[in-house]
């Protein structure tokens, strides 16, 4: 059986589609898979079981990327094509069955993607970590050393996003880290690791500076699957609405996503070990302020609210007061 799976260019959406991809892997143990996705997301899918081919779909002028994909796939008779991009390719390659994406109002993106094949309940996103990524994670975040057979747990922070308007202030991330890793925190004595994509390194710098030498700088790593392996080692991840947030949730790390001008009901981190903390300022007001050139769109999220979410997620008693 041969399956063609066409998914998103963006990391977050591609990760959210891995629940359905994992369902196909398990439901068709004799199948060989070809996966097409954006070049940034592609490394995250390189270890998909029984992967025949991974096709990075770099955008080209005049939609020539779709022509390239069609040329790569038209010579195969596919048993199933799952086209989450609703492209012409899905309709123009020979296949016994074609499944395309459609909007599902009121549903989370994971549920919307699962509905493409009528899968219910929606399977959770997942990532497959290969040996190279695991080795890199061990080098960057060792689980133990000769000098310390048991190392402190890791608090992972993701202070950046694809748009600065979705970034919680660095000083609040720093204060949160101090609280969570302090004697009364949910992760007393934890190591703090800061993550950011390569083009966002400069925006993560203020947090690294605020944390001083105590932070582990994991910004700008070139292998996103190694970043996923590192995130899997964390005891807790707190970050903005971003692809990193979805990676953390997909590898099973307790995850808190921070949302100001966004849609947590559709794009919140998925799973029982995930929470979204939403701005106290209404979304409509945030977007109106953004259109007017306003700043501080994430200021409606208090450190207290995120700390309380972390305590709930980690099963710690609630704080009665900070007065």
* Pair 112, 190 in one domain: no
* Pair 68, 185 in one domain: no
Residue 323 has a pLDDT of 44
* Domain interval for residue 262: 134-313
* Pair 104, 252 in one domain: no
Torsion 306-308-314-319 (CA) sign:
positive
- Tell me the pLDDT tens digit for each residue of 182-218: 999 999 999 999 999 988 999 999 999 999 888 999 9
Q: Which of 61, 91, 117 is the last residue of a domain?
A: 117
- Tell me the pLDDT tens digit for each residue of 20-76: 999 999 999 999 999 999 999 999 999 999 999 999 999 888 788 999 999 999 999
* Pair 242, 147 in one domain: yes
Measure the CA–CA gap between 24 and 123, rounded to whole angstroms: 10
pLDDT < 50 stretches in the chain? 321, 323
Q: Is position 127 within any domain?
A: no
Q: Total domain count for the chain?
A: 2
Q: Is position 125 within any domain?
A: no
* Pair 183, 79 in one domain: no
Residue 279 has a pLDDT of 97
Q: Is position 318 within any domain?
A: no
């Amino acid at each position: 059986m041969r399956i063609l799976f066409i998914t998103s260019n963006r990391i977050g959406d591609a990760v959210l589609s891995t629940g359905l991809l994992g369902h196909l892997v398990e439901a068709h143990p004799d199948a060989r898979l070809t996966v097409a996705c954006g070049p940034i997301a592609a490394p995250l899918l390189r270890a998909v079981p029984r992967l025949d081919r991974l096709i990075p779909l770099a955008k080209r002028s005049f939609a020539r990327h779709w022509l390239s994909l069609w040329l790569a796939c038209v010579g195969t008779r596919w048993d199933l094509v799952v086209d989450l991009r609703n492209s012409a390719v899905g309709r123009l390659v020979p296949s016994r069955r074609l499944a395309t994406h459609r909007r599902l109002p009121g549903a989370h993106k994971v549920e919307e993607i699962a509905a493409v094949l009528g899968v219910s309940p929606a399977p959770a996103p997942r990532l497959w970590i290969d040996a190279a990524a695991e080795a890199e994670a061990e080098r960057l975040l060792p689980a133990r050393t000769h000098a310390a057979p048991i190392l402190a747990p890791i608090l992972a922070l993701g202070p950046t996003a694809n748009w600065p308007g979705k970034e919680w202030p660095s000083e609040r991330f720093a204060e949160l880290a101090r609280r969570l890793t302090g004697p009364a925190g949910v992760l007393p004595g934890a190591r703090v690791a800061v993550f950011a994509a390569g083009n966002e390194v400069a925006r993560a710098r203020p947090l690294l500076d605020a944390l001083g030498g105590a932070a582990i700088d994991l910004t700008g790593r070139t292998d996103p699957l190694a970043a996923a392996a590192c995130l899997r080692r964390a005891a807790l991840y707190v970050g903005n609405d971003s692809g990193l947030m979805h990676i953390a949730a997909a590898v099973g790390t307790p995850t808190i996503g921070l949302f100001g001008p966004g849609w947590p009901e559709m794009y919140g981190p998925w799973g029982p070990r995930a929470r979204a903390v939403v701005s106290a300022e209404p979304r409509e007001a945030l977007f109106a302020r953004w259109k007017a050139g306003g700043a501080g769109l994430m200021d409606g999220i208090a450190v207290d609210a995120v700390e309380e979410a972390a305590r709930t997620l980690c099963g710690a008693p609630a704080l009665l007061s900070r007065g």
